[in-house]
């Protein structure tokens, strides 16, 4: 099988054509897909009307999946549905701050596989930032300053999380992750910080804020960003170890928007941070 590979932007992303991922893939083809994933950090497969079983089966080629234990023995516990209904509140969008998936866990996400199930006529795009480029474009002085620092990643309890049973008043302990992570497969260094991080381990919020804000805002400069304009039956696969992303809530609430995601487990990176904000 010959894969057709087309870059999506200068910063990141590649579309892979000439393949039907609903069918089982031989190891050689998957190895080519995986190499393209490490090189371009986002893969786009257009026109893939996957069933949930096919979505899970393709995702498993990348590794072990997170499953929502709260859903007991339900089918497809690995699929997280992100749906906004007609007339939903435009202020309530899942994933509207810059983040890397499951950054609030000691073992954060390696990859996410997100499928466009129902897509508004216009808008509702997803933005991605290349954290390798963000790190590599820092001055040597800044690289030296941030080496060895840990940022505190909280579990942000949104209204949707609260409706799903999470306790707004009793969030889990946050997790400290290195600000600079070494990608376990490529060996390249990438920034690991997001909009929800408010302080650095061992520093006060006031002391931490200017540095944290500088870093994530530096990372989302247009030259490091790809904006994905969704079509129904797109499947995007991205590498959370070197990217941040956010959803954009700019669509008409006369439309439903539904995406469905699986998450591949990464490797341990941080530790539970029990200290109070300094």
In the Cβ-directed half-sphere of 225, how many Cα atoms lie within 13 Å?
A: 17
Contacts with ligand SIN in 73-102 (CB under 6 A)?
Answer: 82, 94-95
Q: Which of 117, 247, 263, 264 binds ligand SIN (CB under 6 A)?
A: 247
Q: Is 126 a binder of ligand SIN (CB under 6 A)?
A: yes
Comparison of 36 and 259: residue with beta carbon closer to ligand SIN: 259
Pattern 32-71, binding to ligand SIN, x per CB under 6 A?
Answer: ----------------------------------------
Give the pair of three-digit tokens for residue 262: 């699986």
Residue 86 phi, psi (nearest 5): -55, 140
* Contact (CB, 8 A) for 237 and 34: no
Q: For residue 82, list its beta bridge partners.
A: 259
Q: Which of 84, 240, 259, 262 binds ligand SIN (CB under 6 A)?
A: 259
264: number of Cβ within 10 Å: 22
Q: How far is the CB of 213 from ligand SIN (least distance, A)?
A: 20
Q: Is 270 a binder of ligand SIN (CB under 6 A)?
A: no
> CA-CA distance, 55 to 80, in Å (whole number)?
11
Q: How far is the CB of 120 from ligand SIN (least distance, A)?
A: 11
Residue 162 phi, psi (nearest 5): -65, -40
**Residues that bind ligand SIN in the complex, under the rule CB under 6 A:** 82, 94-95, 114, 126, 245, 247, 259
């Amino acid at each position: 099988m010959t894969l057709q590979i087309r870059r999506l932007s200068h910063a990141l992303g590649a579309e892979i054509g000439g393949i039907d991922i609903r069918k089982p893939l031989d190891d050689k083809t998957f190895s080519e897909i995986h190499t393209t994933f490490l090189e371009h950090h986002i893969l786009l497969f257009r026109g893939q009307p996957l069933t949930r079983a096919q979505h899970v089966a393709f995702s498993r080629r990348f590794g072990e999946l997170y499953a929502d234990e709260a859903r007991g023995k339900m089918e497809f516990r690995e699929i997280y549905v992100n749906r906004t209904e007609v007339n939903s509140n435009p202020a309530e969008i899942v994933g509207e701050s810059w983040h890397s998936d499951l950054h609030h866990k000691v073992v954060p996400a390696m990859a996410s596989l997100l499928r466009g199930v129902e897509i508004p006529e216009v808008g509702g795009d997803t933005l991605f930032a290349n954290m390798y480029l963000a790190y590599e474009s820092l001055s040597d002085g800044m690289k030296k300053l941030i080496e060895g620092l840990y940022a505190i990643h909280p579990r942000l309890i949104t209204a949707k999380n609260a409706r799903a049973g999470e306790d707004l008043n009793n969030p889990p302990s946050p997790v400290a992750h290195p600000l600079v992570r070494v990608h376990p497969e490529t060996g390249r260094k990438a920034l690991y910080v997001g909009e929800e991080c408010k302080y650095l381990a061992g520093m006060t919020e006031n002391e931490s804020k200017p540095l944290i804000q500088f870093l994530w805002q530096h990372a989302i400069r247009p030259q490091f960003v790809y904006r994905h304009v969704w079509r129904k039956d797109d499947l995007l696969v991205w590498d959370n170890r070197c990217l941040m992303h956010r959803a954009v809530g700019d669509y008409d609430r006369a439309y439903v928007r539904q995406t469905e995601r699986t998450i591949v487990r990464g490797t341990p990176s941080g530790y539970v941070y029990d200290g109070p904000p300094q």
